[in-house]
Structure 1
Amino acid sequence: MYKIKSLLDNNIWHKFAIYYQGGSFMTRKKSTQLFYHYFEDWVELYKVNSVRPITLNKYYVTLAWLIRLAPKLQLCDLTRQSYQQLINEYAQDHERQTTMDFHHQLKSCIVDAFEEGEIKQNPTRKAVITGKRPAPKKVKFLSQFDVQKLIHVMNLETSLNWDWFLLLILKTGLRFSEALAITPECFDFTNQTLSVKYSWDYRHTDGSFQPTKNPSSVRQIQLDWQITMQFSQLLHGLPKDQPIFVHGRVFNASINRHLKVLCESAEVPVLSIHGLRHTHASLLLFAGVSVASVARRLGHANMATTQSTYLHIIQELESKDGERIMREMSQLV
């Protein structure tokens, strides 16, 4: 027994919760195990190293809520009534979609327990998912008219500042971390292109270059002649391999606050920096640029991401396409 224990760290040994009796091992009966313990073991077994860290963190958030809402609930006491009560309590503080995500994570674990015979019924069957009233949706993109008003109040001086940073995102659709990682050597002023090779790890104190979100994010973006001329003058004499906007610690929230001030000054809806990326894409789509071209420009891994993100715009354009089709067909006589 001691030899086996020496092969396991204390944390793993604790989670296995095995007992030694009469020279043999006897696993703790799972059915009387606290539900949140069972869920924790399930996450460690099936999710650690098999899902992305950001997804794994969501499971741990679910675990934290389980401990908070049902600290004494045993696996064997899971019924449709007790499960519905758990869901209802969670829904009091969360919107319906968030509650649905919470339900789906718990359901995956509980269905496994049911199939393994640990519980006699599936308590998640016919669960009713509710939630508090959704908060007012924030504006995700600006119209072309509002974009012009926003640019008009920007302080676009002869030296680089955060307004130039925001303008670059508006005109290229860069992600926040990608824009921070832009260096002078990323620009090809002769061919009017911008190369996206890295992103910037702004979440850590020192900051550093890091890989882009996915391989498709490594791309070349065509620039308009105006911003090409502007940045060719702004970057004169700067170190070729150093970020042009980063000078110390960068906080996303601080630049978002700056953008908020600009939006209020321009009397346009307040949106986030990521909203500028959405604005770039929406303007291109409304201008008739294909979804495939927009997807490549944004660095999406596939067109499905672009289509799902901008579904409302695409549907609006399709309705206009229907009118064009009928107009063209009516001319055939």
Structure 2
Amino acid sequence: MASIRKRGKTWYVRFSKRETQWDPEKQKNVSILKQKSKGGFKTKSEAQQYGIKMEAASIDGVDVVKNPVFADYFEHWYLTFKFPIIRKSTQKRYITNYHYLEKYFGSTKIKDISRAKYQSFLNWLGKNHAPATVRKTNIMVKACAGNAIEDGLIVKNFTNRTTITGNQDNVRAIEYLNEGEMNKLVQLCLTNLTPRYTSKYLVLAGLFTGARLGELTALKWTDIDFKNKIIDINKTWNPNLKILGPTKTESSVRKIKVNSFLLDKLKQLKINNSEFIFAIPRTGLPPSSSAVNQFLRKAIKEIGLNKPDFHFHSLRHTHVSYLISQGIDIAAISKRLGHANIAITLSIYAHLLDEYKDQQDAKIINSLNQVCATFVQHREKFYDIAKH
């Protein structure tokens, strides 16, 4: 219920509501009075409109009294609902986004965030960050706003129908190996290959499948069809919690056709006697991502390359680069990667397609020349027949 009073020259609104809550100490339901007040209205009409708005929101299930600082709510949300189940790298991303929100919105309350204000935030963030960074931030904030709706703090998701912006100058170039460099890395992994150290096997698997590290480390022997040469990607390994979880997206569940070369190497790991293909004999569990990337960075240096940003996911990019260079259809590549649609693949690897554009243009011209040559030959034969 909203009460309106005049205080000096302005009007004052107080909204009061009693709620019944369970008191764990008293072990019974208790009645709690919640109140929220706001003053400074120039006219009684303005105060009444504000009071009516609060009452309507309360009827819709919104907790009109509770209105936390937006950045603080975001932090509480991800610490409670996300941190227990996500990787450290993802945890860092949430923390970074919290600092973005804290810097831009300051002490702004969550009920005061409108679509326009949030769009201004995205525009601000996009001035100095790549579109991919802004997109990932928006995904997290959108989920948080959805949680706020469930908590009865807001009625609508203010992230809906907003536009992702970004600075193309800050787009980070994808690191990958060309065919020659890829061959060198394969040779290095094959040198002194021993089942005791599974990181080399993981690198080979990454190069030949394009699968993500979590997808590969989750593989069990039951996930490989050696007869039909197929690897079944259907789960991921969480190295922090040391548990199996779902794939990144529904489309990530897929079957990857592989060659005999890779399967013959993987068979060597059966000697480790573990259900996980890439398990370390000492622990019976897959190696950590830091251990695999440490080996990979060392290997990259050993083959004479200066690629400080190269990491396991770069093997996925290398796989794609090689397939594109071999003229493999982009739709087939997209399915192999587990992307939901071809547009995602094109958005990530557009620059690779541009790099091979000249090569593809040469093939097109060569094909057209063959058509022309065939036409000329037929025309000459026709003339010869006509003369006789």
Shorter chain as denominator, the TM-score bin is: 0.5 to 0.7
Aligned to 1:112: none
TM-score (norm 1): 0.65
2:201 to 164, 180, 190: 164
In the alignment, is residue 233 of structure 1 matched against residue 268 of structure 2? yes
> Which residue type is aligned with residue 314 of structure 1?
L
Aligned to 2:25: none
Aligned to 2:29: none
Aligned to 1:195: 232
Does the CA contact (< 8 Å) of 2:278 and 2:286 recur in 1? Answer: no
The 2-side partners of 1:238 and 1:102 are apart by 40
CA RMSD, aligned part only? 5.0
In the alignment, is residue 292 of structure 1 matched against residue 331 of structure 2? yes
Q: CA deviation at 1:284?
A: 0.8
In the alignment, is residue 277 of structure 1 matched against residue 316 of structure 2? yes
Going from structure 1 to structure 2, the CA distance change for 1:20 and 1:258 (only over 3 Å counts) comes to same
Q: CA deviation at 1:237?
A: 7.0
Q: CA deviation at 1:301?
A: 1.6
Q: CA deviation at 1:39?
A: 7.7
**Equivalences for residues 306-317 of structure 1 within 5 A:** 306-317=345-356
Aligned to 1:181: 218
Does the CA contact (< 8 Å) of 2:201 and 2:266 recur in 1? Answer: no
> Which residue type is aligned with residue 261 of structure 1?
K
> Which residue type is aligned with residue 244 of structure 1?
F
Instruction: Look up the SS of the partner of 2:256 in the other structure.
Output: strand
The 1-side partners of 2:183 and 2:228 are apart by 26
Aligned to 2:276: 242
Q: CA deviation at 1:233?
A: 3.4
Does the CA contact (< 8 Å) of 2:218 and 2:244 recur in 1? Answer: yes
Instruction: Look up the SS of the partner of 1:301 in the other structure.
Output: coil
Q: CA deviation at 1:171?
A: 0.8
Q: CA deviation at 1:328?
A: 2.5
Instruction: Look up the SS of the partner of 1:195 in the other structure.
Output: strand
Please list every run of 5 or more consecutive structure 2 residues that lacks an aligned counterpart in the other structure. Answer: 1-15, 23-33, 39-47, 56-66, 113-118, 146-164, 376-388
2:359 to 304, 308, 320: 320
Aligned to 2:254: 219
The 1-side partners of 2:337 and 2:107 are apart by 48
Instruction: Look up the SS of the partner of 2:36 in the other structure.
Output: strand
Q: CA deviation at 1:216?
A: 2.2
Going from structure 1 to structure 2, the CA distance change for 1:253 and 1:287 (only over 3 Å counts) comes to same
Q: CA deviation at 1:70?
A: 6.1
The 2-side partners of 1:188 and 1:102 are apart by 35
Greater fraction strand: 2
Higher RCO (CA-CA < 8 Å; seq separation 6+)? 1
Q: CA deviation at 1:282?
A: 1.1
List structure 1 runs of 4+ shifted beyond 6 angstroms: 38-44, 57-60, 72-76, 98-105
